[in-house]
Amino acid sequence: MLPDLEPEALVVLLERMIVARRFEEELIELAGDRDIGHFHVYIGQESTGIPALSLLEQGDLSFTNHRNHGHLIARGAEPGPMYAEILGRATGYCRGKGGTLHLASAEHGFPTTSSVTSGCIPLAVGAGMGLQRLGSDRVSVCLVGDGALEEGAWHESANIAAMERLPVVFLCENNSLEALGQRAGEYPSSTMAASDLTELASVFGIESVAIDGLDTRAAHQTMTEAVHRARSGGGPTFIEARTVRWPGNRPIWPELATGKTDLSMAWDASLIRPEHAIWHREQDGLLGFVRELLDSGCVTSDAALGLDKRATERVREGLAFALDSPYPEPEEALEHVFAPRGD
Amino acid sequence: MPRMLYAEAVVEVLRRSVEGDDRVHLMGQYFLGLTPHRTMVGDLYRQYPDRVYFPPIAELGYVGAGIGAAIAGLRPIVDCATASFTFQAFAQILNEAANIHYMSGGQTSVPMVIHYNHGVRGGGAAQHSHSPQAMMWNTPGLEIITPSNPADLIGLVLTAVASDNPTIWVDHVRLFDIEGEVPENIEPIPFGRASIPREGTDLTIFASSWMVRRSLEAAELLASEGISVEVVDPRTLVPLDEEAILRSVAKTGRLLVVDECHLRCGVGSEIAATVAEHAYGDLLAPIRRLATLDVPVPFSPPLEQYVEPTTAKILAAARSVTGVQSGA
């Protein structure tokens, strides 16, 4: 179902979802032409992250992981400096020091990005502690996958967040639902003995909820409630979004297994070919969101195509900007080890 | 000039830091370890309950929380108690705190202090006797202070708290009973400036933290044997006052490094390498390294003393480097 938002706001969400999708598609295509190293794409999780993170406000802090591209776009980061960072250019958000693994933009609420599984959890909890002790009403959002809950850092940090009633929202995008264990009817993740990830939070007394990652309304609604709880001193919340792993994400190196997304499939089922039909009909959150917007009358198919054209142009311009950007001077490797010292 | 115990200076600088900046919060409760001095910090905790956080036994979680809090705008002083416990938190200290400013391209800073008590404390055995400062030094992005007396402690920690970088505050429980003069209006001590607590002409002893005390004790005894020792205390390992070390070696022509890290890849090894690289021509004798032997620290007292750098070992090493036979 659609989030409880004005039509204009829904259109903004749609545009960000399309930008996030096209961003990754262009990147995968680029990786076919040149070696840009390993990277992780957000395709398949847009219907969770875009509605959830778009509602954060200036000053709210977010700590993400290796699969971060969509998160930054959700909070308004620009494709140009993102691509530039991923390509190691001087114009990247981190001046080429971080790359895709550490893509961070402080001005968009991403002070640092840890690509060590669970690395961001203590940081996000600590940021919540800092905000609480500073008397701020800003919140800290911790973005993890299901794998991070396998690490000890989760358990230590969840305990701290719960005991101190910290203004932290844990958004766990579980994309292991199709992992082997689950397929055998066992676990929600391939290497976790717990049968329900929310229990890993509720055991600490943390308010916990599981949502369908394809349900934009649920993502928006639960995140709204969680952020309100955090802002008003009600403590942390754990949201598990059960997302579908995009077929292109199954191999170690992402590939456009389902082709470049054709938004027309949302209203013209005849375009859907048998191969990956389930993805296009039921599991692609972007196509699903477009269908709901069409049904509600918020957008027309022409308007959706217009948004797509604009988003695609924006992404391509960003990529061109990055490719035209210079690499940093080699000596810049020596800068930023330390913040400036007074002595 | 007033005198105070090192342990009192720890409490004093924590108090000054808390009172001097609302953003300074204390995380952890074993700044003075389990020593008899531990109760001295209690008044501070009672006076500023809102500025103190007593964490669960979760070094990875709460040190990481200190990093996150620093990112959000606090200036936390986080205590890890025994140095060996920092291993629980290495993932956050070495892989997050040390890297964040760099990998964000300078966007984000981590203004925090991480305190630990290192070294052989007597009966700590293998899992409570580490000196991990060399491991941390091998991780770019961390400032490291190694005070050896009450006045330096206060001055260095004031600078550490004001620094926008993660700073490792290396303490030693055996220092807590040291008494020293502390100026009334003590100022922050800039990082990267060594002190020369004893001047001499025959031999340079480089030592940090507790080893400065033992080296000074040895130097006094060596003076009676006619060996004039200069002791160089770097006070901060990062940044390192390389100039002061090289200047001293140029003067004495001989170097003994005394270090409580294990020998291989220890702090002393780095100093020895630096001098060999830059001042080979000044050396009248081979550099000598004295460090904790390369075995886990054992429990039994005679075993423990056998592996740690004792004053007797410093005396023997100094005589050896200067070519003087045992003064006995």
User: How far apart (Å, rounded) are the C-alpha atoms in residues B256 and B222?
Assistant: 13
Do B136 and B64 lie in one domain? The reply is: yes
**What is the average per-residue pLDDT within A212-235?**
98
Q: Given a cut of 80, is residue A186 above it in pLDDT?
A: no
| % pLDDT > 70, chain B | 99
Q: Closest Cα partner for A256 from A22, A82, A74?
A: A22
Residue B304 lies in a domain: yes
CATH of the domain at B313: 3.40.50.920
- Terminal Cα distance for chain B, rounded: 38
In a domain, B174, yes or no: yes
Residue B174 CA to residue B210 CA, distance in Å, equals 7
Tell me whether residue B327 is in a domain.
Answer: no
Interface check A334 vs B, CB under 8 A:
no
**Chain A contact set for B25 (CB, 8 A):** 133
Q: CA B6, CA B216: separation in Å to the nearest integer?
A: 17
Give the DSSP letter of residue B96. I
Q: What percent of chain A has pLDDT over 90?
A: 89
Instruction: Let me know if B118 is a catalytic residue.
Output: no
Q: Which domains are present in chain A? A: 7-325 (3.40.50.970)
B160 and B223 share a domain? no
Residue B116, in any domain of the structure:
yes
Q: Which two tokens stand for residue B143?
A: 């400032």
Query: What's the pLDDT at A189?
Result: 54
In sequence order, the 6+-apart residues with CB closer than 8 A to the CB of B203 are: B222, B227, B228, B229, B230, B252, B254, B255, B256, B318, B321, B322
Residue A334, pLDDT above cutoff 60 = yes
What's the pLDDT score for residue A262? 97
pLDDT of B327 higher than 80: no
Average pLDDT over residues B248-256: 98
CA distance B209 to B231: 12
Indicate if B254 and B316 belong to the same structural domain. yes
Asked if A157's CB is within 8 angstroms of B164's CB, the reply is no
> Which residues, in sequence order, are bridge partners of residue A212?
A242
Domain that holds residue B115: 3-181
Within a 13 Å sphere around the CA of A221, how many CA atoms are in the beta-carbon half?
Answer: 13
Task: Write the ipTM.
Answer: 0.96
Give pLDDT tens digits for B194-224: 999 999 999 999 999 999 999 999 999 999 9
| Residue A187 pLDDT greater than 60, yes or no | no
B102 and B207 both lie in a single domain: no
C-alpha–C-alpha distance, residues A210 and A174, integer Å:
10
**pLDDT by residue (tens digit) across B283-311?**
999 999 999 999 999 999 999 999 999 99
Separation CA B38–CA B30 (nearest Å): 7
A290 touches chain B (CB under 8 A): no
Asked if the structure places residue B56 within a domain, the reply is yes
pLDDT digits (tens, 9 = 90+) for A29-68: 999 999 999 999 999 999 999 999 999 999 999 999 999 9
pLDDT single digits (tens) B177-193: 999 999 999 999 999 99
B211/B117 same-domain check:
no
Q: In chain A, which residue's Cα lies nearest the Cα of B56?
A: A160
- Tell how strand A168-174 and strand A140-145 pair up: parallel
Residue B23 shares a structural domain with residue B110: yes
Quick one: B95 and B138 in the same domain?
Answer: yes
Contacts of A68 (CB under 8 A, 6+ apart): A40, A42, A100, A103, A110, A113, A143
**Predicted confidence (pLDDT) per residue in A288-330, tens digit:** 999 999 999 999 999 999 999 999 999 999 999 999 999 999 9
Q: Can you spell out the DSSP letters for B67-88?
A: HHHHHHT---EEEEEEGGGHHH
Is B187 contained in some domain?
A: no
Which of B152, B181, B210 terminates a domain? The answer is B181
Nearest to B200 by CA among B213, B218, B219: B219
Taking CA atoms, B65 is separated from A16, B39, B93, in Å, by 32, 25, 11
Domain ends where: B123, B147, B181?
B181
State whether B136 and B238 are in the same domain: no
User: How many angstroms separate the CA atoms of A119 and B24, rounded?
Assistant: 24
Average pLDDT value for chain B: 97
Question: What is the CATH classification number for the domain harbouring B76?
Answer: 3.40.50.970
Residues of B in contact with A168 (CB under 8 A): none
Residue B190 lies in a domain: no
Q: Let me know whether B47 and B150 are in one domain.
A: yes
**Domains: count for chain B:** 2
In a domain, B309, yes or no: yes
How many CB pairs below 8 Å do chains A and B form together? 176
Instruction: State whether B125 and B214 are in the same domain.
Output: no
Retrieve residue A117's tokens.
Answer: 């599984």
A180–chain B Cβ distance below 8 A for any pair: no
Residue B328 has pLDDT above 80, yes or no: no
Q: Which one from B25, B37, B118, B128 is the annotated catalytic residue?
A: B128
Residue A185 confidence (pLDDT) above 70:
no
Q: Which two tokens stand for residue B227?
A: 């060996």
Q: Which of B63, B103, B110, B114 to probe the A interface (max A CBs under 10 A)?
A: B103
Question: Looking at the structure, do residues B165 and B213 belong to the same domain, yes or no?
Answer: no
Sorting pLDDT into bands at 50, 70 and 90, what band is B62?
very high
Domain boundary among B128, B156, B181: B181
Per CB-CB distance under 8 Å, the chain A contacts of B72 are 61, 126-131, 134, 136, 140
- Which of A111, A122, A341 is the closest to B61 by Cβ? A122
Cβ distance of A160 and B65 shorter than 8 Å: yes
**Chain B nearest CA to A293, separation (Å):** 38
For residue A105, the SS3 value is coil
Question: Band of the pLDDT at A181, cuts 50, 70, 90?
Answer: very low
Sheet holding B195-198, edge to edge: B195-198, B229-233, B203-207, B255-262, B288-292
pTM of the model: 0.96
| Same structural domain, B201 and B160 | no
